[in-house]
Chains A and B, each alone.
Chain A
Amino acid sequence: MTVNSNAMMASYASQVNSNSNVQAQSSASGYASQGVSADFSAIAQQLMSTMDTNKSGSIDKAEFSQAAQALAKNANNSSSSSVDTAFAKIDANGDGSISSDEMMNAMKQASAQTQTKKHHHHHHADVSASDTATQTEQLSKQASSPANEIQKNLFNKIMAAYGNPTAATGMTTNLSA
């Protein structure tokens, strides 16, 4: 499993919002806001309060890791290296702890990226041809991802059937099927 700092922030924000007075916004199109909209400072403070279990005023790696594990409880496994990567991304000054300012900046980045993804997705139905190419590309990436070793042969075989030359040459040769 990869712990993505932006995803983690968005997920945490959603959970915090459901228990606070910071209201999520909804749009007429049926899209509900991720909820990281109005008051980053307030949300960041709530996150700090939740994650800072020893009440030191900042979040150390152990506290961060604990929160990441709690968030990823539905996943089958977790990786300490991905937690380290996510922590380092938020810990902008690299002092080994996350301050409320750093938390707030991470929230803003998470929000901006989530909105970009949503905007892109709104146009899904209009660009089916290019999206198919994108999906093919995504599947190729999945096939080459070390994390998906168990699915690699299958992905490559599917891609080879659809004429992806990269996948065809990358197929495991000792499998006849």
Chain B
Amino acid sequence: MGNMYLYTFEAFTVVCELHLEAPTQSVANDMTQMVITYAKELEYRYSFFQKTSEIYALNHRSSYTHIISDELSGLLQMALFYTDITHGAFDIALSGTLKAASKAPTLVEYKRLKEELLPFASSSHFTLEGNCLTFSNTITKIDLGGLVKEYAVDQVSFQLQSRGILSALINFGGDIAAYGTYHDTPWKIGIQNPDSLDSNLLEIELNSASVCTSGHSKRFTTIEKENITHIIGSSSRDQNYNQVSVIAPTTVDAGVWSTALLVNPNLIIPSHIQVLHTI
């Protein structure tokens, strides 16, 4: 058995942690460098705001049809799969398109803009055929913010395993995957209480699975003293829960379902998804 190493770094605008078991410090350093480089690359490629990203180019398009990269095509296909399976509660065109409204100076203006943009805030406004992405308008925008961080965690997990790392916990801002053990004991994860950040609502054990928590408590925009959440639903039912935690076989799955259940708490959950708690 090797030693356990812990690294922290920043990517996707959140604090990331990597715990891994490695035979030497040098191996652990190399693995961590690989993980940081990979995470930064994904952030660079798929950021909503960075002008260098493929997403930014698509969202600031002047033509309707675009040839996109293989990886982005796969990500979009995955997003469309989840949009269908969550009946639209998870939709990469929803928050992206409505983001413009959150810049409104007043609540009246915010509501007006949201109403105006809502008809375009749906994945039904683009089609994907292989690498060919065609939009029906210039207003619909794609935001992979609810997918790419989770995707990064899953890919890092696969890459570490393929490089012989037997145990690791990958935590990108609360999107967590763990496999193997921590010194022969299961990995333990505390789910933070949004009302008391020093305490945990509960503690879980995680092995070869992922957990994601979505909530309205940390990320929002304030307009006229009212908090506008970063998770935007298309109807008034979106405020039923403040926080949802989900365990799933992949981080993408856990992330999508925790977001979708915030938007629509009435969704029927697949049997492999475990909802930990909702507050």
Measured CB to CB, the residues of A under 8 A from B are 1-4, 6-8, 10-11, 14-15, 18, 30-32, 34-35, 71-72, 74-77, 114, 117-118, 120-121, 124-125, 128, 131-132, 135-136, 138-139, 142, 145, 147-148, 150-151, 153-155, 157-158, 160-162, 174-177
Interface residues of B, count at CB 8 A? 57
In chain A, what residue has the closest Cβ to B136?
A: A31
Query: How many inter-chain residue pairs (CB < 8 Å) link A and B?
Result: 164
Q: How far is the CA of A132 from the CA of B68 in the complex (A)?
A: 23
In chain B, what residue has the closest Cβ to A6?
A: B132
Q: Which residues of B contact A177 (CB under 8 A)?
A: 157-158, 161, 177, 179, 208-209
In chain B, what residue has the closest Cβ to A34?
A: B64
Is A10's CB under 8 angstroms from B134's CB? yes
Q: How far is the CA of A158 from the CA of B75 in the complex (A)?
A: 13
Closest approach, in angstroms, between the C-beta of B125 and any C-beta of chain A? 8
Is A8's CB under 8 angstroms from B84's CB? no
Decide yes or no: A4 and B132 within 8 Å by CB, A75-B68, A153-B158 being known contacts: yes
Chain B contacts with A in 74-100, Cβ cutoff 8 A: 74-75, 77-78, 80-81, 83-85, 87
Q: How far is the CA of A14 from the CA of B83 in the complex (A)?
A: 28
Which residue of A1, A34, A72, A153 contacts B65 across the interface (Cβ within 8 Å)?
A34
Measured CB to CB, the residues of B under 8 A from A are 45, 54, 57-58, 62-71, 73-75, 77-78, 80-81, 83-85, 87, 119-120, 124-125, 127, 129-132, 134, 136-138, 151, 154-155, 157-158, 161-162, 177, 179-180, 208-209, 248-250, 252-253, 270, 272
Q: Which residues of B contact A124 (CB under 8 A)?
A: 124
Decide yes or no: A2 and B130 within 8 Å by CB, A128-B87, A175-B161 being known contacts: yes
